[in-house]
Amino acid sequence: MTQARRLAFGMVRSGVSCGELDGAVNDFLRREGYSGEDMRLHRTGHGVGLGNHEAPSIAERQRIHFAENMVISIEPGIYLTILRDLIGNPFRPATLDPAWLAVENGTIVNLARPIYDEDVPYGCLDASRLEILADALEEAGCTNADILAHCRSPGPHLRGCWVVIWCCSWNDWYE
């Protein structure tokens, strides 16, 4: 990010468009390997005035050109979609029903615990085992599309996967 900011600082001058600056920074980040299914690039910055986030938006399709005395913030960033594996979707929180975990003498917990405990490279869980966990959750009565889709997604899934952690922690909460 430091190099991306330096690139942006070097380009900021009257006559350069916000879109041109954002494109150059995002091209640099892509060349550095910051792109792909698990990452989404954030706009490079924005204007600052009476509020913290004001025009112009230093983003891809912005035609506004920088002018003398314009106050801006340069803050390129990357959204890691893998963060959703750890915390779920904060805008659509899923409710997990403890009754699902009690089905068939704790089948869900018995499936989740070895998934979490497995010694896996880079902390990535076996996606095929999470698919089995999704099937078991569904058989136990889970109809939440977000939970089931999350477990059935190809991942990557980290050891801190929110569904697995919840399933493993159930005994600690409800015994």
The model's pLDDT over 103-135, given as tens digits with 9 standing for 90+, comes to: 888 889 899 989 888 876 666 788 899 999 999
Query: Residue 173: what pLDDT?
Result: 45
81: pLDDT strictly greater than 70: no
Query: Residue 121: what pLDDT?
Result: 63
Query: Residue 174: what pLDDT?
Result: 46
Pair 8, 45: CB distance under 8 Å: yes
Residue pLDDT, tens place only, 41-65: 788 999 998 888 889 999 988 999 9
- Domain map of the chain by residue range? 2-81, 85-174
| Distant-in-sequence, close-in-space partners of 84: CB < 8 Å, separation ≥ 6 | 150
Pair 128, 134: CB distance under 8 Å: no
Proportion of the chain above pLDDT 70, given as a percent = 91
Q: Residue 175: which pLDDT band, with cuts at 50, 70 and 90?
A: very low
Interatomic CA distance for residues 1 and 4, integer angstroms: 5
Pair 170, 163: CB distance under 8 Å: no
Query: Residue 77: what pLDDT?
Result: 81
More confident residue, 11 or 104: 11
| Distant-in-sequence, close-in-space partners of 156: CB < 8 Å, separation ≥ 6 | 38, 82, 85, 124, 125, 127
